[in-house]
Structure formats: C-alpha cells, structure tokens
Amino acid sequence: MIKIDALLKLLEPLPAPLLAGPPAPAACRPYKGLTLCGFDVRLETDGRTYELLTTDAPDGDGFRSCGFAFARRIVPLVPGMLLEQQIVLPNAGDAVGISWRLVGNKIRPVRLTATPLFSSVERISSETFVFDAEHDGGRLTWSPFRDSGKIVADTNGQCTEPAVAIDFNAQENTAAPSAFVFDLGRPTSLLLLSVELPTNGATDPLVGQFLADSANPRREHCNLPTAAQGPVPLLRQLKANSSRIRRPHSQRRFCYKIDEVLWAAYRRYDRSA
C-alpha cells in the first residue's frame, strides 16, 4: 500500500435556523472525518502483476511551512523504463493529488490500478463513485456518509469496481469504494481526490498547480526540483506551468493543452481559467 494517512473533513448540513442567516465560515461548521489511509497500487506488465509499497506517508521535507507535503519516487520497472510517482498533500487537508508516468528509452505497455482505501470512526457507506453530470461538466463523486459532503474524484483514468479483495486487517468502518485504472505511458496519469466544498468555499490553488505541472507534456523528470532543493524551486515550477495551461482547443502559442476532463477539474481550482 502507498501510505497517505490524510484526514479529509466533510462538512455537515447547517441546522435550519442557521440557513436563514449569513453563510458560516467553513472552519466553524461541523464535519465528519474520513481518513484516506492510502492507495493499493498494482502494476501489470509482461503478464505479471506487481504491488507498489511504501512504509512512510509523505512528510514535509521542508515543504509544510509553504502549505503542503510533497513526495516523489522513481521505481525501476525493467531495464530502460522507470515509473515516476508524485504525491501532494495540501496542509488544509481537503485534497490529495497523486500522479504516475513512465520515463526512459524503452517504454512498454503497463497497466496501473489504484484503489483508494478509507477509514473512519463512523460507519462508511458501501456505495461506489458515480458520475455526476450536473456539476462542472461532469465529475465522479462518492458519498461516504448520508448527511455530509461528498468526495470528488478528478482523473484521466477509468473508474471501476475493485478487482481484488482489500485486506484491512479486520479494521472496522473501512471502505474501498472504487478502483481507477490507467494505461501508463509518457503522458501523466492523474488522480485527484478532494472534499466537496460549499458554493462560496475557496479551493486550494496548489492542487490546480500540481495538476497543471503533472499534465505538462514538456516536463522532463531530470529537471524536476527535489525535496533536497527545498520548496521554493518546486513552487516556482508549479506556478510557471499553471500559467501556461490552456483549454483543449486553445490556439495560443507557448502553452500546452490538456484533455476535457482535466480542464474541467483545473477550472475548479483556478477559477480565473
């Protein structure tokens, strides 16, 4: 399992007397806690299946003071082909971003299946992620509790039911609602999980910048800032790539385009787009 241990806060509905008054700040509203324990990640290539494992969740590495934790990992798969994995966790605790892509000079077909694993002190719904066509051009949502907000999934992969049984070590109130399948290549495969925010809620622009940077087709793994270099080079690169991202049919030069699904997701994090 790729360990995450991120607490997501799903807002509960306001009591009826408060609905008539001014909107309550999100920080003052009651919420239900849902922990993203991590991801069960499996790779299929050359007829074999492998499981990715980490023992430590992404830590600050000097990034926490700048608003997020970040982790980047390079995994050798076969001679001439590597897997790059990146994870970003904003300090606000309302989103998690994870991406994968293949790098090297001998790229071959690889299928990756990522299953997010959740737990809570309360009972979790057995429902799966469903397509919500009424919001932002379509998105995937999951309702872990009956009377709280939803978890939103933005991805360029395929959402399906988990194909393998997940071992939660007899832990109660756990769920693996859906799996996300990607056919890996040089373009980035991306999964963003975020908490549904109220209409007047502010999204974290860092997640949009992570999406923009991950989707940049010109990004080379050898030029990526590392944790050892500190947070400033990484933040500078995220913001630079975010300023160059454009909608799928844009004709502007010196920019790059992303597909419709990720563009709709990006607009939720950068409302000036």
The pTM of the full predicted model, rounded to 2 decimals, is: 0.79
pLDDT at 83: 94
- pLDDT for 116 equals 96
Q: 58 near 46, Cβ under 8 Å?
A: no
DSSP string across 114-170: EEEEEE-SS-------EEETTSTT-EEEE-SSTTS--EEEEESSEEE--SS----TT
Tell me the residue type at 242: S
Residue whose tokens read 């799903």: 10
Secondary structure letter of residue 223 according to DSSP = G
pLDDT at residue 59 in the model: 60
- Backbone φ/ψ region at 38: left (φ over 0), alpha (ψ -120 to 50), beta: left
DSSP string, 23-86: PPPGGGS-EEEEEEEEEEEEEEETTEEEEE--SS----TT-GGGTEEEEEEEEEEETTEEEEEE
Instruction: Identify the bridge partners of residue 174 per DSSP, sorted by sequence position.
Output: 119
Please state the φ and ψ torsions of residue 116, each to the nearest 5 degrees. Answer: -70, 140
**Per-residue pLDDT tens digits of the chain, which is 273 residues long:** 898 989 999 988 766 555 455 555 555 668 899 999 999 999 999 889 999 887 666 665 444 445 577 788 889 998 999 999 988 888 666 889 899 999 999 999 999 999 999 999 999 998 999 987 665 556 799 999 988 889 999 888 999 998 777 776 767 889 999 999 999 999 889 999 989 876 555 556 677 777 777 766 665 544 444 545 554 455 555 555 444 444 444 444 444 445 566 666 666 665 555
Torsion, CA 23, CA 24, CA 27, CA 28, rounded to 10: -170
Rounded Cα distance between 57 and 210, Å, is 18
Per-residue CA distances from 73 to 107, 117, 219 (Å): 18, 20, 16
Q: Is 74:21 a contact under the CB 8 Å cutoff?
A: no
User: Do 38 and 1 touch, CB atoms closer than 8 A?
Assistant: yes
For residue 45, which amino acid is it?
T
Can you read off the two tokens belonging to residue 20?
């008539």
Question: Residue 245 and residue 172: Cα distance in Å, rounded?
Answer: 43
SS3 268: helix
